[in-house]
Amino acid sequence: MSNPLAGWWGKNKRTVLIVGVVIVVVWGYLGTRDRPKTQRVSLPGDYASAGRELLVQAPSDPANPLPLVLILHDDNADAKSLDRQSDAGKLANSRDFAVAFPEAVGGTWRIDGPEGADVRYLRDVVRFVSTKRTKVDPNRVYVWGIGEGARLALTAACAPGKPEFAAVGVVGQFDPEPGPTCQDRVPEGRAPEASWDRKVSETLWKFSSGHRLGA
């Protein structure tokens, strides 16, 4: 006895496959349609770091305040390359946090102490994203960096006074070790990798997301 379903499949196989592909494409489009994209912006004139650029990805009106992660590239690199390599933007969309990639002037960070120009710039980035781009949970702001960006991240996180960052992430292989360190005040996560990929971002997010100021 013949199987009527086999005959139907033989006649309609191509149509079913086409419909299936269309459904997958539409589903993928709807899933990403409202997700924020990375944008290059400049700090406004009323900031101490006016005119300095950064990349930022954040929803404009989230239902609840979001964690914010600052990600600092190494010297002789740039924010755009790290955004692409780290895949942090996609991770931010899937885990519901905002992300900013500050940009060094001329590709070189100036690590000249906790009151230096680049640490002030990072503070301006936090204030800008928090007031101009999205709702940020001030108790869940994190700073990650690779190479010289890691040294700047530590310098900012370990500045005297009340901590401004709930955790710091350090990426790279160092000799000597970067400093300063202040793990008694600001938890420090390590990823001893020579480069930054999605796995490194996931590792740092898993570590950082468990920490908040005042906890």
- Whether 214 is covered by a domain: the verdict is no
Residues 149 and 191 in one domain: yes
User: Residues with Cβ < 8 Å from 1, sequence gap 6 or more?
Assistant: none
Q: Strand, helix or coil at 7?
A: helix
The predicted model scores a pTM of 0.84
The predicted structure's pLDDT at residue 148: 96
- The CA-based angle 42-45-51, given to 5 degrees, is 35
The predicted structure's pLDDT at residue 171: 97
Residues 18 and 118 in one domain: no
The predicted structure's pLDDT at residue 180: 86
Count other Cβ atoms within 10 Å, centred on residue 173. Answer: 8
Residue spans of the chain under pLDDT 70: 1-13, 15-34
Per-residue pLDDT reduced to its tens digit, 180-208? 889 999 999 999 999 999 999 999 999 99
Residues 120 and 169 in one domain: yes
The predicted structure's pLDDT at residue 88: 98
Residues 50 and 151 in one domain: yes
> Which residues span the domain enclosing 84?
38-208
